[in-house]
Chain A
Amino acid sequence: MKIVVTIKQVPDTTEVKLDPRTGTLIREGVPSIINPEDKNALEEALKLKDTLGAHVVVITMGPPQADDALREALAMGADEAILLSDRAFAGADTWATATTLGMAIKKIGGYDLILAGRQAIDGDTAQVGPQLAEYLGIPQITYVTELTLTNGSVRAKRKLEDGYEIIEAPLPALLTITKEANKPRYPTAPGIITAYRARQVTLWTSKDLDAEPGTLGLEGSPTQVRRSFSPPAKEPGETITAPPEEAARQILSRLKARNIIQG
């Protein structure tokens, strides 16, 4: 079985600080990490490798330093790593990102399962997984918290706002995995040393992908950024300072007034 896991290198937002004067992110000196839910996706792949045996390929599109994300994935137990890096990929929107990943995954070939994270903590769109499945023309199951493989198909539990759905799809299929799915393993110490000193990351540029002209990077991106702006600051909330019982009464009557609860 061959499993491809798409991973994105992102700034560690828990370490990002706001510039108090400009209100913008200070990205300088912020360490880069594997997008957290991509680690959940990788963990699902590694669990399948542990139980059923699988060849796990991790792939990322990004600048040369995205190599570090791939090495960490190798140290966790991935078998093969591919870095898509080229100036031609720059400025990609989610569709161009998905297309580029799709071309590369076609080139890898022979895959049974593609696992993506649900959402990246920086871009936050949760679009790349679904778009990649569309590009490849394979079934997709999003927001997956549990999955099992049974001859030729995958059965997955997907989390919705108000409950769960159990969905089955034939393989190959693409699943996007949420953080509830598992607790990703740590890379091991010998794995880390070997990942950097003895293992290979394959570099593919646009030339390796036989891309049609106009499909990559900014050129291949239908999204156009017209203007960017900060959303207006939210009104501060109201604090009710009354003693607890009185405060509860006030809150209840307001909720009722707005028909949020009945009574």
Chain B
Amino acid sequence: MDFTFPKEYELLRRMIREFAQNEVAPIAEEVDVEEKVPMDVIRKAGKLGLMGVPFPQEYGGAGAGEIGYCILMEELNKVCASTATVIGAHTGIGAMAIYLDGTPEQKEKYLTPLARGEKIAAFALTEPNAGSDAAAIQTRAVRDGDNFILNGTKIWITNGDIADIITVFAVTDPALGARGGVTAFIVENTFPGFRVGTKETKMGIRGSSTAEIIFEDCVVPKENVLGQFGAGFLTALKTLDVGRISLGAGCLGGAQAALEAAIDFAKNRYQFGQPIAQKQAIQWMIADMATEIEALRSLVYRTAWMMDSGHMDREFSTYAAMCKVFGSEVLDRCVDKCVQIHGGMGYMKKYPVERMYRDARITRIFEGTNEIQRLVIATNLFRKVGVRIR
């Protein structure tokens, strides 16, 4: 057993931390207020190889695997959850689907510019009538000669309005539904019939855009079918499995930042003649935060290690779901305690803690709600003993 990070990961973390401190932290407040992550930051990240951290170098990536990617999400989320979400949706689900199920030609054509940060990716599954019940999607894809014609609307797509390349899930056989009747497509935003609809304004992660995208007789060449025809639902599930580890890593970073802010404040805030750090009520909150954070750290990097060493089985899917549930709930408890320790100061827009609290809330909802993750975990556990959950 060895719980130390190899040296390349230590240096990668130091580089990312410096990048986050110098290039991202100074604009975090503006990103939240302006509801926009400047493209300049994304370009800088791209130059450093931070838009394709998990992917192999032959496809323009950093070759740092899921562990390296979790380090990125952890460090970025310490300073700006919006920027992390933009890069996360791009890398962890949008481009990841192409990496997991793309042909060598598709990876060459699409993954390479994405990993280099020259193009931005998104992942489009959710529809007005298909949230948790993703199998209920209605966007249709109909074969027309060498093309497919897509019709339908996707909502709440992270990067939907800025993405050049979008992984889209559509029904190719309504009779079969999710079991063989859904296909994944790689759609370029320049394809005729593709359009961006309304953009949402949100409680948190306000700098990451969440947009509606509309397909009106959108023409997609048949070479852009991603993965096996009819097996798109599996591509979606597999991609989301992987995305859940890095989501947990992002929560880890956010929780760590909350802990550090809380310690710093408790040390410096004097009431009743001494720092509030002297109060047991505060100490216990700090101790609980730190303990949960370390448990989360072990879970996240253990699961990332499973992926990097090729264990992508059902066990892996269980762990990935745990990363998502535990991560988002640890984060939730940590930002809550952090605001409490800050008292009124934690409620003021002037301080980043208020933003951290708002930014945290989404993590229990997107990429599969925590209720759905618990369902996944329980289904996998009961399956082992022969009980099928339906």
User: Which residues of A are interface residues toward B (Cβ below 8 A)?
Assistant: 31, 68, 71-72, 75, 186-197
Q: Which 5 A-B pairs have the closest CB atoms?
A: A189-B49, A189-B62, A196-B8, A190-B62, A190-B49
Q: A193: which B residues are within 8 A, CB to CB?
A: 8, 12, 57, 62-64, 68
A179 to B201, CA, bound (A): 44
Q: A186-B48, A188-B47 are in contact. List 15 more A-B contacts (CB 8 A).
A: A31-B14, A75-B15, A188-B49, A189-B16, A189-B48, A189-B64, A190-B49, A190-B57, A193-B8, A193-B62, A193-B63, A194-B57, A196-B8, A196-B11, A197-B8
**From B8, which residue of chain A is reached at the shortest CB distance?**
A196
The answer to whether A71 touches B19, judged by C-beta atoms less than 8 angstroms apart, is: no
Q: Across the interface, which residues of A come within 8 angstroms of B48, CB to CB?
A: 186, 188-189
CB-nearest residue of chain A relative to B51?
A189
CB nearest to B65 among chain A residues: A193
A113 CB, nearest partner CB in chain B, Å = 26
Contact between chains at A196 and B7 (CB < 8 Å): yes
Nearest-Cβ distance from residue B41 to partner chain A, whole angstroms: 13
Q: Does B76 contact A (CB under 8 A)?
A: no
- Whether B63 contacts A71 by the Cβ 8 Å rule is no
Which chain A residues lie closer than 8 Å to B15 at the CB level? 75, 186-187, 189, 192
Chain A residues, CB < 8 A from B61: 190
Within 8 Å of chain A (Cβ to Cβ): is B211?
no
B137 at the interface (CB under 8 A from A): no
Q: How many residues of B contact A (CB 8 A)?
A: 21
A interface, by DSSP: helix, strand, loop or mixed? helix
Contacting residues, chain B, for A197 (C-beta < 8 A): 8, 63
Closest to B22 in A: A186
Q: How far is the CB of B40 from chain A (nearest CB, A)?
A: 15
A194 to B61 CA separation, bound complex (whole angstroms): 12
CA distance in complex: A122, B249 (Å): 36
Q: A189-B50, A189-B53 are in contact. Are A194 and B19 (CB under 8 A)?
A: no
CA distance A187 to B7 in the complex (A): 14
Contact of B19 among A75, A186, A192 (CB under 8 A): A186
B133-158 to A contact mask, C-beta < 8 Å, 1/0 = 00000000000000000000000000
Residues of chain A contacted by B6 (CB below 8 angstroms) = 196
Cβ of B18 < 8 Å from any Cβ of A?
yes
Shortest Cβ distance from B69 into A: residue = A189
The reply to whether B49 and A195 contact each other, CB–CB distance below 8 Å, is no
Which residues of B (287-340) have their CB < 8 Å from a CB of A?
none
Complex CA gap A204/B385 in Å reads 61
Distance (Å) between the CB of A129 and the closest chain B CB? Answer: 26
Instruction: List, in ascending order, chain A residues with CB within 8 A of B12's CB.
Output: 189, 192-193
Interface string of B49-74 (1 = CB under 8 A from A): 11001000100011110001000000
How distant is A62 from chain B, measured CB to nearest CB, in Å? 16
Please name the residue on chain B nearest to A191 by beta carbon: B49
14 A-B interface contacts by CB (under 8 A): A75-B15, A187-B11, A188-B48, A189-B16, A189-B50, A189-B62, A190-B49, A190-B62, A190-B64, A192-B11, A192-B64, A193-B63, A193-B64, A195-B11
CA distance A87 to B379 in the complex (A): 60
Distance between Cα atoms of A194 and B16 in the complex (Å) = 16
The residue on B at minimum CB distance from A33 is B14
The docked-state distance in angstroms from the alpha carbon of A68 to that of B61 is 23
Give Cα distance in the complex from A188 to B15, angstroms: 8
Give Cα A190–Cα B47 distance, bound, in whole angstroms.
10
State which residues 5-54 of B face A: CB under 8 Å: 6-8, 11-12, 14-16, 18-19, 47-50, 53
Nearest CB in chain A: distance from B298 CB, A: 21
B38 to chain A, nearest CB (A): 18
What is the bound-complex CA distance between A254 and B351, given in angstroms? 43
- Specify which chain A residues have a CB less than 8 angstroms from the CB of B16 in the assembled complex: 189
Kindly list chain B residues whose C-beta atoms are within 8 Å of the C-beta of A191: 49
| Complex: chain A residue closest to B53, CB-CB | A189
Chain B, Cβ-Cβ closest to A68? B7
Shortest Cβ distance from residue A30 to the other chain B in the assembled complex, whole angstroms: 13
- Chain B's nearest CB lies how many Å from the CB of A17? 15
Considering only CB atoms, which chain A residue lies closest to B63 in the complex?
A193
CB nearest to A193 among chain B residues: B63
Interface residues of B in 216-251 (CB under 8 A from A): none
Which single residue of chain A is at the shortest CB-CB distance from B7? A196
**Min CB gap A81→B, angstroms:** 14
- Note all chain A residues with C-beta closer than 8 A to B11: 68, 71-72, 75, 187, 192, 195-196
Q: Give Cα distance in the complex from A187 to B47, angstroms.
A: 10
Q: A196 CA to B12 CA in the complex, in Å?
A: 11
Q: Which residue of A lies closest to B12 (CB)?
A: A192
A195→B62 contact, CB < 8 A: no
Cβ-defined contact, A194 with B63, below 8 A:
yes
A contact residues around B63 at 8 Å (CB): 190, 193-194, 197
User: Which chain A positions have C-beta within 8 A of B19?
Assistant: 186
Q: What's the least CB distance linking B116 to chain A, in Å?
A: 10
